[in-house]
Structure 1
């Protein structure tokens, strides 16, 4: 069976990929960039988009001809593929990205829930339980993340961003962190979204959902994956730009914020009062839930293939529990640990992608 997928279904697959990329890091870095860069935002944003959109989407396209990052790296060395990909999966999985989704979304509910250790644990339990049950069916992520959660998320983000664009306040004259080399600084900040590394891991889940639509031939799967990646890239670039310029246009009143989560919280409250806190909390909750679910699926699928004697469900339980435990350390600890590791791994990943551009897959050789 190998039927042509209509554009509408490709669009839903593209939305699914967008939702898997667009999570905690994506939300907190772009608006903070706008506040800190102020008048230098356009150049800083350009650098940020290079490593948070262009390279990850190119990675999806490059890796599509191999299926995923592990398959490409095995053309260099199987031990290298296992070591590098296992490290990447652990970083975007239980060590950094998965727990970051819970900690970030919890901080958005601190106006409603007291930030105690017990409440943090209870929130993580509910959050990860919901992600676990959706991730139990990885071939259905398109229906949950693409058709339901992503449209809601885009509408909510649009409400906040459009509100700040039509009601600008004042652009700060103070440039923080982006005064000397805004493009280069934005370029490095894009690493923090972890999307370059995530792109190495999303291939198998994407292929699974495409095959679920009746597409089996490798070339046809590649064609669908490329179009879905372009859709996701356009959406990512548009939302990042809206978030960054929203922060820039009200940067003078947002300088007290110490991270992007606070920027969005303050921005929503300025525009919509108390109701803004509800909007902001929902934005973070949905975005983080989408990414957590997608990452749990990808990481569990990878380690199930690596160690098949443990079922997908068993690995899913392991990484869900690990995510709960690590999330209890809090957002600041997770972010402080992630920066130096990502600043090393992301350039290495880019070098592997350059290799992938010139290396032919088995079917092309």
Structure 2
């Protein structure tokens, strides 16, 4: 396979592994909520659903190691705990949600079957793909992703042509609040988590291909990451615009899934449900494959790349998917929110530190910034568990905490102070 073709296949694979349940149902809903100010929510959504995930891919291109290597600069113990949490969230929440969305949007409109039956068939098929991981890039990158992209462009194109850009007042009006709305919804895509999980999958998958040395792989993964990121942004922006243009024809107070269903029907007519079913099934399926493959790779690596450990992990993860995937999408999203508010900030910080030049990201910087991020994200996590009134004083005292971003400024301040300290120490040392 020549290099341009390799890059394109990997880019398609990355796009498909990222583009799952949340990536479909969230953008149109944001467009409906933001109205004429859709560009602000698109910016916020792009930050957490495009920029951060692709930076995660670039970090893996730089490391070309396992998930354990991704966090071990803080400490080996932290990395072990972090990997267990990350893969736990991915296997217990992210992957099952894809089955739940598939049932509600692709199966239930046509067949009166139980969600458990859908989950069994769904994860049985996912398992077959996972145990044939040597063909993962080819199957997903060459065949499944192009079909997903074609259907998406048809829906977006027709939505733009048939929509009317009427000014509609929305309850959220200021640019900053709209950006933070987009950022918060971007959390629900799980894509920052997917960035570090999928990045590890791609690195290991490329070992089965004749790609070349470390630098060649780095260049290939980086270029594919940028291409996938551009594709994701175009699709997200298109879906958000469609939500805005068609909002006056979508029922009031429609849920995220109801907005997507309405969008498909308004753009594709009677066959909209069929096209949407195919799109949802493919998009969710490829994401589930990526998640379970990543978890199986990680556990296998703990046991010297044991094939038995890989298959056993894939079986357990698929069985968990069958059980949790039988619940409704709304329930899974509700359960996921506090967990995401806890793990997402730490993941974002790790990604950003890895893509920076090493002179700005020493081991001390990693330790201190991650610790501060963890401490200042605790209120964001707790507000979904305990009564908000008991936390109001703390939240009001932390800048941006009311927007669920209380960790941002403290982490940035610690990062700048430590690097200033390192710079002045080196300057004094050079003078002496």
| TM more than 0.5 | yes
SS of 2:343's equivalent?
helix
- Residue equivalent to 2:358: 359
Using the TM superposition, give the Cα deviation of residue 204 of structure 1 relative to its aligned residue in structure 2, in angstroms.
2.7
Residue in 1 that maps onto 2:381: none
What are the equivalent positions in structure 2 for 1:25-40 lying under 5 Å apart? 25-40=22-37
Structure 2 unaligned regions, length at least 5: 362-432
Residue 174 of structure 1, CA deviation: 3.3
Secondary structure, aligned partner of 1:90: helix
Q: Using the alignment, how far apart are the partners of 1:227 and 1:289 within structure 2?
A: 25
Distance 1:273 1:353, change over 3 A: closer
Q: 1:281: which partner in 2? A: 277
What is the total number of aligned residue pairs between the two structures? Answer: 355
CA distance in 2, matches of 1:81, 1:5: 36
1:57 maps onto 2:54 in alignment: yes
What is the aligned counterpart of 1:165 among 157, 160, 164? Answer: 160
**In structure 2, C-alpha distance between the alignment counterparts of 1:171 and 1:192, rounded to whole Å:** 28
Matched ranges for 1:84-123 at <5 A: 84-93=82-91, 95-108=92-105, 109-114=107-112, 119-123=114-118
2:134 to 123, 139, 162: 139
Q: Which residue of 1 aligns with 2:366?
A: none
From 349, 355, 365, give the equivalent of 2:347. 349
**Which residue matches 1:81?**
79
Given that 1:139 and 1:205 are in contact with CA atoms closer than 8 Å, whether structure 2 keeps it comes out as no
RMSD over aligned Cα atoms: 2.0
The Cα of 1:176 is off from its aligned counterpart by 4.1
In structure 2, C-alpha distance between the alignment counterparts of 1:176 and 1:66, rounded to whole Å: 44
Q: Does the Cα contact within 8 Å between 1:5 and 1:213 map onto a contact in 2?
A: no
Q: Closer, same or farther in 2 for the Cα pair 1:259/1:306, shift >3 Å?
A: farther
Give the C-alpha shift of residue 110 in structure 1. Answer: 2.0
Match among 203, 208, 228 for residue 232 of structure 1: 228
Give a deviation string over 1:265-304, Cα, whole Å, max 9, x none: 1111123332111011111011001111111111111122
Conserved in 2, the CA contact under 8 Å of 1:28 and 1:259?
no
Deviation for aligned residue 1:75? 2.4
Q: What residue in structure 2 maps to residue 124 of structure 1?
A: 119
Structure 1 residue 47 corresponds to structure 2 residue 44: yes
Q: From the two aligned structures, give the one with the greater helix fraction.
A: 2
Aligned twin of 2:298: 302
**What is the TM-score when the length of structure 2 is the normalising length?**
0.78
Aligned pairs (5 A) from 1:320-339: 320-339=318-337
Larger radius of gyration: 2
- Residues 295-342 of structure 1, C-alpha deviation per residue, up to 9 Å, x if partnerless? 111111112223556521111001000100011122111000111221
Distance (Å, rounded) in 1 between the aligned partners of 2:294 and 2:100: 20
Distance 1:199 1:156 in 2: 24
Q: 1:239 to 1:304 in 2, by over 3 A?
A: same
Conserved? CA contact 1:178–1:185, under 8 Å: no
**TM-score, normalised by the number of residues in structure 1:** 0.92
User: Which residues of structure 1 form unaligned runs of 5+?
Assistant: none
Whether the aligned pair in 2 keeps the contact of 1:156 and 1:283 (CA below 8 Å) is yes
Seen in structure 2, the aligned counterparts of structure 1 residues 247 and 63 have a Cα distance that, compared at 3 Å, is same
Task: Return the offset for 1:65.
Answer: 1.6
CA distance in 1, matches of 2:285, 2:262: 22
Alignment of 1:193-272 (within 5 A): 193-256=189-252, 258-272=254-268
Task: Give the superposition deviation at 1:359.
Answer: 3.3
SS in 2 for 1:329: coil
What is the SS of the residue equivalent to 2:188? helix
